[in-house]
Structure 1
């Protein structure tokens, strides 16, 4: 089936070509979400305004074209995919308005949940929902799924903390419940709709049996079906409509803004891990804790504990627990420490009579708390990491009445055994009776699909019929539970849901087959293949947690999308399908525009570094081994050539003028497909070679200064107010602090190997790295002297796998914080400073230390939101400048009140200067400016 010509014509006149995607690569990449379902849209549209959404819905309504809205795509139940038109959020949905000292916050749907809490943190507040996907999920999805989480319970979910909403209905009508004019206009234009909602509310409340069932269901955590509680909780039809949209999963309308009543974010926290000898005792303790001042109680069965028992940092006793053991991870929070201590005493007294097998007492130590929570958070990825290649990880979440939790757990475990899900684990938000169970499932074999179907039939009957629980506590109904909504709710309530759907979406164009479906087999259709592609990425569960930190997301592909497409290419090749065009497209979209910095690995639940795959693919395309080897062996000559190139560029600038040179070089770069670097006013001038002088004997402590090759080649830009080179500035600062600065011999021949590694020449890269390590060993007198490297990416490359050496290597941040703070006096400046934390600084674990150092140097430090990687990526800023421009597209606005920025990578600073509109320098420039030697 193709999309109607009239619809396409309307879309083409409304949406620029750069925001419409219908090619095979883009539709598959954008069409993939975190669920185990796969639908490929015919058209993907990136929307940037509410006006566009309104017009698109009117076009879709006219031609009966189904549409699905997509925020972050972290949904687990198949609610964010489509085989028709997928509407995804662009950049312009990140607005926020903080009110009443943080008591309320109004958010657009593109805001990442964790970012909202960053904005609220200074007020000691947060939004109520706290899903595990908080660092990737967007507000649009959090509201549409009525997400909750570990501490949220039912009282603090979106439904119960909703203060206002702005929405667009299927007919294109808009309503802002906080705008009196909008409300008045809507009351006139949609009087019949509002009257019908009011009538359905009256009828539902008058039906005492149905009303009682609805109230019972929503005392539990419940996201199965539409939010029928809106009909019993409210009599004002606008309130009913607002709350129906919550948890509707895009089936009733588009949410373009939401206002939350925020909740306290108490600063004092403590966590304990208590292991009970059996499930019954554990669940009985939960019943007691339900009445106690606890923020979260997470249950972990023996299988889930076993899945993480060998991970680093786990308490040793976890390996020795008895077969029936069951643990509770308990967190308490309070406004003050004395109050917290009172609460902890009360909590422990309440469960003191229960037998305990092992326990970690309540601790307020942040590091220990993180270690304990890692036990809980690592369970899901632990199953994903050990699954057989080609299978997928499924996480279901159900709710039992908390007083029946123990028997519910037992019965679920019996079902695992009955259907042979031997690796399945159980954990969950015990206070709410909400259990997650994780298992691996293959969908390539009809027998496996039949096993899954039989298992789901048993689970749904157990939970919904026998225990009158909830089939979806917090992950949304999606396609996964749509066939079972009637089983849980009964015929009358189910018919009411369909009435609401047809009232608000009479043409059925909004996300069909999600939440409500007339197909009893929809949960067994369109199952996502997870074909083997490469050992580096085969464990990917396509959750999308990696996407917010990727600099190419929105320009080309994200890490998740790179993996999706590479899997598809490999599967097609095995099937004998011609992949020539797909691979040609993937070259630019997947390989050329990947920064390969590995930030994705930090967010990935199973630790996948998609950049490693890209480097491997680049290595397979690297056919100039002899040239790479020659450069490695004649590196000093290559350095001279690089300086000459910068000399030539600088001469051209003086001859032609900066604007003209920039225009000419841009044209040449495009014409050569990036082989000719693009010149910008931020381009450095050539640096002079190091003038090596042998160390002298004196009483000063020695430091070996490794100036990275970029520091040795690239001086300040012609227009930079700072004209002292990074090498000279660093040497000046180190000597100010009382150090004798020593350089490795023949430094112009040395390199960490990063330029070779990024191009796919692993052998030459490792050769240069080993040569440099040998030179540093000699210069540091066998590791006696610390080694200061002025560029964090080079430091990171050198310290990786450095266990066998005694070398003490430092990046600028770590060296300054460990060796200079006691030797210098800091007088912070008033002028604001922008800070860019490089990818390598993040990998080195020095992010907060860099920010703390900046705050010692300036009373006003700006950290631009949403910029995790600058996208310069070595030489990508020269060769693929659009990646750098895309990654820093929001930088200029963020730093507009700053005169200077700081970082720890010379190449990053080139792109930051160009796109930020201010000069970026190494950290040492700022530290040198605001410090004086400390006198005894």
Structure 2
């Protein structure tokens, strides 16, 4: 650490809590990792939670002359969110939002995830204009700072054009709130010089008629190369110029503390089609025609997929049958989406666009489908193009995604030119696709940076791309991903000296000492894009496909507490590299000493990261492997063979804990500790037999203070729906095997699996009768065991949510509904694809359903007891997300319900209890009395 940084650190520790300041090698490596192809390790990482802390940080940066980089989610791709100085991460204090004017506007903190903002707007039929592919993880600060767009927003609905107001902080600590007249008046007085200088720049640019015309022309394309100097022409008020220059400035001009967007309409009626052409030029002429019909006929998205991409997905199961044929080198496909406010209007759009396309003689067309499942399959094909490169790349290479824009009339030439560059430089794996309506093309390739020759190849390729896009076509080297380090050396080439000098003067006006994210956007280093390139050394076959994109982080319960999946992988890669290469003993020891708790012990290992990962990496599998085999295999074998006794012991322990008043007073015993379950109800009845496998957790823990188990409600429901539930033989001693799998107790897992298989086969008459699997995590484990061949394929296994939604709910009469209900969808339910079923069941029992966006609660089996901080951290936003009138919650995992009740402030029950209460007769009041409380 430099002396200046050491002095800065001393002062910083007096200004904010030391618990949110990190300097150890593990933290700086992990938190310094972003989605780009660059690796810079900050000297200091600070997680800032308030505007006051940001002001303190900037004050100390000025005092000690140290550079600061702000980061939101770290999903940016071009190196604009990494630093070797001070990295400031946005904490929970910036995660806030408020819907205004009945959904017409939304005020957001920079730490809110874009998809969460859209969830707030959804009830009003609105959404954010920007729609980047990373919106499920990307945060508002990064979306605005990069002027992100996406597949549908074009240039009209990006952050620049939909921003209504902004609150920002300049490097000198001054705050400007453009929605507050008093703040605006004070700023006009205090920063008259800055505003005057912007007005002068505006006059100079407008006076250069040729350059002004070029600026206007270039911003009719998507363009995020350099600063948005169109603001100098679009506005007469220099304060408006200033606020709009912050959009797309990548943290180099100031800090965005809050932003208010105009929301755009989310049309409810949609249709999609795949249309393929043998000739690229016919395809691109169709794009031009679609662009002209865009507003008139509801064309919201047109994605171009080139021949390389079509060949890359030929073997994919989601590929429609009509595309399962060889494609020619000049073929291309368009994925088109139409939207409308009503069904009749959508019919008109479909008829008009189908007729338009027919005039361009496509070779194949799926026709427009309104079926949500079919359309999702088409878009899955498009989204699968990145994994086609990311998953198949050679270990050790890095995935690079670049995005350029050509004038739409020159789009076919641009595609051909880029394809020729791939061939010239030997990037045979490269794919090309993009947002064709805007002339915006993405290309994905996998360079290696582990040798000078590979770096030289990359350098030559990037120079040729710049010459082609900026030189030959006057297009955009960066259309929507931000300039970053990767294109900063080429800004001058794209814009020319006059525009470049205006941008340099803008940077100097806002940040005269160059303290904000130096070298990003404006740099004098022509080789910046070739320095600090990220190496991806082999670490483990489970995670070597990871591209460090960060999409996993929003689903990870330990993110922000210890490490996220990509941070676990980044550190493990470094550990393995140090172990192989030798040297760096002190660094290796530091990484290893913190890794067991921060990476392994606090990983929920639920697999939720894999559901968000573009290449399907399940980091939990690696953490499970690193835990090593069970330290008590004999005890595990005993438990597997004596599960009935173990369950009885748990019930006894629960009774003793309640008698002792232990809830909330004994360490590791939560306030929401369940009561011991009553004996299972007698099975049987008239109707179709169904095997009821009651998980050990539901045999042991009551679902509510009445002492009844989940099985009590399940039996009621099954009988009410005309089924005759039966228990498998020896059901008290059966287990799904999850406890043994979590403990890496292979022998015990095998013992429990054999017993379960035999019992289910016998009870189901060798698979003739269906099997009902309660408790989401246990159901997921049993289904996985069958896929792994550990359970007989003849067994008709039905997880609870799907069985109830498809076979029970249609036979029930819902007699009473809650006005408000909260639903938690366990990660296991998401993983097995049953989230929609669970949502449907809950919605049938209430007037208004709230589903807080908590991908995984972090209870994770027994971790809610052994590492309660994980559960608490994951659910820290649960209570504020619940409506004030909401008094009941529902889920489908008994262990999750403990933590949800503990941290949500309301009692969470199982879905069977809810359905039983809502469908029971008045005479069965004991089943639904809790619902009326």
Question: Normalised by the size of structure 1, how large is the TM-score?
Answer: 0.95
Selected match of 1:597 from 600, 606, 624: 606
2:695 is equivalent to residue 708 of structure 1: yes
Selected match of 1:351 from 351, 354, 357: 357
Tell me the equivalent position of 2:673: 683
User: 3-state SS of the aligned residue for 1:722?
Assistant: coil
Given that 1:687 and 1:715 are in contact with CA atoms closer than 8 Å, whether structure 2 keeps it comes out as yes
Q: Determine the C-alpha separation between the residues in 1 that align with 2:5 and 2:449.
A: 33
Given that 1:277 and 1:355 are in contact with CA atoms closer than 8 Å, whether structure 2 keeps it comes out as no
The answer to which of 765-774 and 495-504 deviates more is: 765-774
Tell me the equivalent position of 1:732: 716
2:621 is equivalent to residue 612 of structure 1: yes
**TM-aligned CA deviation for residue 764 of structure 1:** 2.5
Tell me the equivalent position of 1:21: 22
Tell me the equivalent position of 2:638: 630
Tell me the equivalent position of 1:321: 326
2:819 is equivalent to residue 819 of structure 1: no
Q: Structure 1 pair 744/164, CA: closer, same or farther in 2 (3 Å)?
A: same
The one-character-per-residue Cα deviations of 1:43-80 (angstroms, maximum 9, x if unpaired) are 11111111111121111112111000000000000000
User: 3-state SS of the aligned residue for 1:800?
Assistant: helix
Tell me the equivalent position of 2:931: none
**TM-aligned CA deviation for residue 609 of structure 1:** 1.1
1:60-75 to 2 correspondences below 5 Å? 60-75=61-76
User: 3-state SS of the aligned residue for 1:423?
Assistant: coil
Given that 1:202 and 1:235 are in contact with CA atoms closer than 8 Å, whether structure 2 keeps it comes out as no
Question: Normalised by the size of structure 2, how large is the TM-score?
Answer: 0.95
2:405 is equivalent to residue 418 of structure 1: no
Q: Determine the C-alpha separation between the residues in 2 that align with 1:225 and 1:649.
A: 64
1:327-726 to 2 correspondences below 5 Å? 327-577=333-583, 578=585, 579-618=588-627, 620-653=628-661, 658=663, 662=665, 665-666=666-667, 678-688=668-678, 690=680, 699-715=686-702, 721-726=705-710
The one-character-per-residue Cα deviations of 1:108-158 (angstroms, maximum 9, x if unpaired) are 111111222222222222111111111111110010000111111111111
Q: Determine the C-alpha separation between the residues in 1 that align with 2:712 and 2:214.
A: 75
Q: Determine the C-alpha separation between the residues in 1 that align with 2:75 and 2:506.
A: 26
Tell me the equivalent position of 1:674: none
Q: Determine the C-alpha separation between the residues in 2 that align with 1:822 and 1:90.
A: 45
Q: Determine the C-alpha separation between the residues in 1 that align with 2:402 and 2:388.
A: 16
Tell me the equivalent position of 2:163: 162
Selected match of 1:847 from 835, 841, 851: 835
2:797 is equivalent to residue 798 of structure 1: no
User: 3-state SS of the aligned residue for 1:69?
Assistant: strand
Q: Structure 1 pair 658/357, CA: closer, same or farther in 2 (3 Å)?
A: closer
Given that 1:34 and 1:75 are in contact with CA atoms closer than 8 Å, whether structure 2 keeps it comes out as yes
Selected match of 1:743 from 727, 745, 763: 727
Tell me the equivalent position of 1:675: none
**TM-aligned CA deviation for residue 363 of structure 1:** 1.1
**TM-aligned CA deviation for residue 746 of structure 1:** 1.4
The answer to which of 354-363 and 370-379 deviates more is: 354-363
Tell me the equivalent position of 1:926: 914
The answer to which of 68-77 and 91-100 deviates more is: 91-100
Tell me the equivalent position of 1:669: none
Q: Determine the C-alpha separation between the residues in 1 that align with 2:723 and 2:337.
A: 48
Tell me the equivalent position of 1:300: 305
**TM-aligned CA deviation for residue 821 of structure 1:** 2.0
Q: Structure 1 pair 581/63, CA: closer, same or farther in 2 (3 Å)?
A: closer
User: 3-state SS of the aligned residue for 1:395?
Assistant: strand
Q: Structure 1 pair 688/825, CA: closer, same or farther in 2 (3 Å)?
A: closer
Given that 1:276 and 1:326 are in contact with CA atoms closer than 8 Å, whether structure 2 keeps it comes out as yes
Q: Determine the C-alpha separation between the residues in 2 that align with 1:318 and 1:736.
A: 47
Residue segments in structure 2 that go unaligned for 5+ positions in a row: 924-933
The answer to which of 420-429 and 277-286 deviates more is: 277-286
How many aligned positions are there? 909
**TM-aligned CA deviation for residue 690 of structure 1:** 4.7
Q: Determine the C-alpha separation between the residues in 1 that align with 2:19 and 2:867.
A: 18
**TM-aligned CA deviation for residue 874 of structure 1:** 0.4
Q: Determine the C-alpha separation between the residues in 1 that align with 2:350 and 2:679.
A: 63
**TM-aligned CA deviation for residue 412 of structure 1:** 1.1
2:869 is equivalent to residue 882 of structure 1: yes
Q: Determine the C-alpha separation between the residues in 1 that align with 2:353 and 2:846.
A: 44
Q: Determine the C-alpha separation between the residues in 2 that align with 1:837 and 1:562.
A: 25
**TM-aligned CA deviation for residue 843 of structure 1:** 1.4
**TM-aligned CA deviation for residue 241 of structure 1:** 0.2
The one-character-per-residue Cα deviations of 1:687-720 (angstroms, maximum 9, x if unpaired) are 35558x7x77x7432222211111122235xxx5
Q: Determine the C-alpha separation between the residues in 2 that align with 1:802 and 1:383.
A: 31
Superposition RMSD in Å: 1.8
Kindly report structure 1 stretches of 4+ aligned residues shifted beyond 6 Å.
Answer: none
**TM-aligned CA deviation for residue 624 of structure 1:** 2.4
Tell me the equivalent position of 2:12: 11
Q: Determine the C-alpha separation between the residues in 2 that align with 1:738 and 1:368.
A: 34
**TM-aligned CA deviation for residue 623 of structure 1:** 3.0
Given that 2:486 and 2:529 are in contact with CA atoms closer than 8 Å, whether structure 1 keeps it comes out as yes
Q: Structure 1 pair 349/727, CA: closer, same or farther in 2 (3 Å)?
A: closer
